[in-house]
Structure 1
Amino acid sequence: MSEIKQNGADMLPVRIGIDVGSTTVKIAVLDDNDRLIYGDYQRHRADIRSTIISVVSKAFDELEKKFPAGAGQTLSVKVTGSGGFSVSQWLNIPFIQEVVAATTAVKKLIPQTDVVIELGGEDAKITYFTGGVEQRMNGTCAGGTGAFIDQMAALLETDAAGLNVLAKDATTIYPIAARCGVFAKTDVQPLINEGARREDIAASIYQAVVNQTISGLACGKPIRGHVAFLGGPLHFMDQLRRRFIETLKLKDDEIIVPEDSQLFVAAGSAFSADRTVCCDGKKFPTIAEFRENLKNLVGAELSEVQRLEPLFNNATELDEFRKRHASEVAARGELSLTRGPVFLGLDSGSTTTKAVLIDQKGRIIWDFYAN
């Protein structure tokens, strides 16, 4: 998280951008000179409301200390991201589409950019700026995104940061599918079973992401000129950037890695926040008023999400299910009391090994299951 870098000295609204993504919440606060004075990036782990309250409250704590007006400092806030539209309704603040927000930030901060490669938690984008803005984005599948990397890291019994550390010492790249996590697992698991180095598998996972992004999104259109890398995965994983750079054969002067690139979309949202007229002609809210408004997030309903009927309407139905389910179990015996021939079955699967020992009556007298 960035810290406050400069005090404000007037009552112009402070511009704030909030980016509510599929896996993270980001916030960016700008000063009068369009410089980022505060930023934060947190995974919400599906608890969007609590994370937004935490991220925004921490930002307000810092702003109250630095701005002369304290809690009376006015704000101009815009929200963006895949989860931003619901948040805009809950908090009654303007929404900006994330493509527009990102484009705004790129043109403002790195206007020399020809192509942007951006990876998020569940989306991937390539945006061309030369000859007009053109964007390619993945569809309904999160293959080759941050969530995909998390899933693959779990196979190596680490996390995304650990995967990046492993990839630094790689010497071999294996072919791995990245279009789908299921396909990728069928490539990664045999490598693990055959004893391939974890370092090589980690780098190969990154290379799979690169191949998926370039082949699936660029679709043959060249990625040339000054290329900027944005989004959390590309900000925090330098080895992932390295795979892109080597694959695209980029020279040093063609590589753009902006400071705080993980906050770029949030910054673009803040850049677009109006400082002269508030939404619907209302006055700009103060920090104190916005804090109060955050209470609207508690218990807010995702009205646009369709829900299935519950499996059980009450505790009685659940108890009946458990009773019925528990009545159908395999017969078991005691290993210490067993005499005569016994029979051992082994199942060596792609991810687990299972073993069962039964007696002559088919009763299980010993079992084993492990990764």
Structure 2
Amino acid sequence: MKNSILRAGIDIGSTTVKLAILDPDGKILFGEYLRHRAQTRETLRQLIEQASEQIGDATLSLSITGSGALGIARSLGLPFVQEVVSVATAISTYHPETDVAVELGGEDAKIIYFRGGLDERMNGVCAGGTGSFIDQMAALLQTDAAGLNEAAKDAKTVYPIASRCGVFAKTDIQPLINYGAAASDIAASIFQAVVTQTVSGLACGKPIRGKVAFLGGPLHFLPELKKAFVRTLKLTPEDTVDPENSHLFAALGAAMNRDGGAEISFSDLLSRLAEQTGCDFESKRLEPLFSGEDEYTAFLDRHARARVKRGDLSTYSGRCYLGIDAGSTTTKLVLIGSAGELLYTFYRNNQGNPVKTAIKSMEELEKALPAGAKIAGACSTGYGEQLLKSAFSLDLGEVETVAHAKAALFFDPETDCVLDIGGQDMKCIRLKNGTVDSIMLNEACSSGCGSFIENVAESLGLSAEQFAREAIS
């Protein structure tokens, strides 16, 4: 097909890149979908090379669409098609009987009404209930989205789970895990939370009736999620539209761009990609955290002034004291000596099971504890304060803010403010005369917290530690 002009569309979304190529008769010659992990150009290059190997160096009539496409369209000199227009074009071509389309992407969700004029509803700044939300929940169950779908097939009970925020959804899911709820029921509950968020948050009371099409990667690859939508909307099989390539619809619509695409060969397109390394709209950038190595070293030195006095547990003899912080995402354990010296530490992600992680921490401590060291007292704090106090018959349980204040005042009696960023919360604690005077806490959103950082790092293929190193490099 070397001398043919083929219609092609690229859809660059928040988490994936899609490429669709049609022959002059509208037959799909190539259609592929890949996660880009923030490497959109490299992923696009891979797709173009795959298509070129399969089809040959044909000339394309190419358009580009998607939430992450505008900058690349400008830098490559390609026509940009608005995403809703692309989807509407594909729907009118392949399934003109559709009354409503529900589309889920990596970080966006849409409901498009086609009857009585085009009416499109889309989520705003929050990605709750989208593909990335599902990925976060799957990771909490130590599986992937496909594993979540497989588990949901055997569900018998659906639990209420927050869907507005992935971080807060974890707060609902973790107790279910801790109390032994079946993984299948939790998986089905996650899918139902996505349905609830999409329907209530976007439809806002407007009925979803008639022929309903389900589009986007999550709804294409996760049949149990689609079943949850069908069940909630009370759709009959006759009212459910199942497009064959529903994950590629925006790319297909871009390929059918009525204004025509830019004519370009595979080889020329790859050359442009290699030449263009930036996006022409990226003019605003944050300043680096540190201007150089000297400033970074000075920062480390300044913040290392209040060092914890450490002791050698292997040679310690006498009374010592145990503290456990059961946080929303991690479990921390410390053992201190009678003079306040730090003898032992443990810090680990609790994988949704703080009791099991606490048991592991104490088993490891027991192995390291010498015969002469005696634990004279134990106290818990954090989200799981009461749970751990009851489970292990600890002496005390302390409110987290008071524990923060006591530790801060130990290092500096003149401390008047403590800033704490945890897995799901962040706190600013004001101290006055050695006591807690006021507390400011995040409420309905946990962006910027530890769990948020972990999720962003994971989307880039990095650990939290690697992410931190990249931030200062």
The alignment's TM-score, normalised by the length of structure 2, stands at 0.71
Q: Which residue of 2 aligns with 1:67?
A: none
Structure 1 residue 366 corresponds to structure 2 residue 344: yes
1:67-86 to 2 correspondence within 5 Å? 71=57, 73-86=58-71
Give the match's secondary structure for 1:111.
Answer: coil
- Alpha-carbon distance in structure 1 between the residues aligned to 2:220 and 2:150: 14
Contact 1:15 1:273 in 2 (8 A): no
Q: Where does residue 188 of structure 2 map in the other structure? A: 203
1:264 aligns with 2:256: no
Partner residue in 1 for 2:298: 320
Deviation at 1:35, TM superposition (A): 1.6
Q: 16, 19, 25: which is aligned to 2:11?
A: 19
**Structure 1 residue 200: Cα displacement:** 0.9
**Hey, what does 2:394 align to over in structure 1?**
none
Paired position in structure 2 for 1:296: 275
Contact 2:5–2:24 (CA<8 Å) still a contact in 1?
no
Identify the structure with the greater strand proportion.
Answer: 2
How many Å separate the matches in 2 of 1:287 and 1:341?
A: 73
Residue number in structure 2 paired with 1:170: 155
User: Within the alignment, does 1:249 sit opposite 2:234 as a pair?
Assistant: yes
Segments of 5+ residues of structure 1 without an aligned counterpart are 1-7, 65-70
What's the offset of the Cα at 1:133? Answer: 1.6
Quote the Cα distance in structure 2 between the aligned partners of 1:98 and 1:76.
Answer: 18
CA deviation after TM superposition for structure 1 residue 351, in Å: 3.0
CA 1:294–1:352 in structure 2 vs 1: closer, same or farther (change >3 Å)? closer
Q: Distance in 2 between matches of 1:244 and 1:177?
A: 17
Please state how far the C-alpha of 1:135 moved relative to its aligned partner.
Answer: 1.0
Mapped contact 1:343–1:357 kept (Cα < 8 A)? yes
Q: Residue 368 of structure 1: SS of its match in structure 2?
A: strand
Q: Secondary structure at the match of 2:319?
A: coil
1:88-114 Cα deviation digits (max 9, x unpaired): 111101000000000000000001111
1:44: how far off? 0.3
Letter in 2 for 1:343: Y
Tell me the secondary structure at the aligned position of residue 20 of structure 2.
strand
Cα distance, 1:288 vs structure 2:
2.7
Equivalent residue for 2:40, pick from 30, 39, 48? 48
* Contact preservation (8 Å) 2:75, 2:280: no
What secondary structure is seen at the aligned counterpart in 1 of 2:11? Answer: strand
Q: In structure 2, which of residues 279, 289, 294 is the aligned counterpart of residue 311 of structure 1?
A: 289
CA deviations on 1:167-189 (whole Å, 9 max, x unpaired) are 11111100011112233122112
Give me the whole-angstrom Cα distance separating, in 2, the residues matched to 1:222 and 1:242.
18
**CA apart distance, 1:62:** 1.5
* Selected match of 2:313 from 332, 335, 345: 335
2:173 is the counterpart of 1:188: yes
Corresponding residue pairs, total: 349
Aligned position for 2:266: 287
SS of the residue aligned with 2:78?
A: coil
Cα deviations by residue, 1:276-319 (Å, 9 ceiling, x for unpaired)? xx65xxxx33333222222134x224633632111111122223
Alignment-derived partner of residue 335 in structure 2: 357
> Quick one: which amino acid aligns to residue 296 of structure 1?
E
Q: Match of 1:309, SS?
A: coil
Q: Larger relative contact order (C-alpha < 8 A, sep ≥ 6)?
A: 1
Distance 1:193 1:305, change over 3 A: farther
- Give the corresponding residue for 2:402: none
Q: Which residue of 2 aligns with 1:63?
A: 55
Of 82, 89, 106, which residue of structure 2 is paired with 1:121?
Answer: 106
Match of 2:462 in 1: none
What is the DSSP-based 3-state SS (H/G/I as helix, E as strand, rest coil) of the residue aligned with 2:187?
A: helix
The DSSP-based 3-state class of the residue aligned with 2:7 is strand
Contact conserved, 1:76 with 1:274, CA < 8 A, in 2? no
- 1:360 and 1:305 map into 2 onto residues whose CA distance is 56
1:175/1:204 contact within 8 Å kept: yes
Change (3 A) 1:302 1:140: farther
For the 8 Å contact 1:16–1:273, the answer to whether it is kept is no
* AA in 1 matched with 2:339: K
Are residues 1:35 and 2:27 paired? yes
Structure 2 segments unaligned to the other structure (5+ residues): 351-473
1:330 deviation in Å? 1.3
Measured at CA, do residues 327 and 248 of structure 1 come closer, stay the same or move farther in structure 2, by a change above 3 Å?
same
Q: Secondary structure at the match of 1:285?
A: strand
Q: Deviations over 1:58-111 (max 9, x none)?
A: 1122121xxxxxx3x322100000111111111101000000000000000001
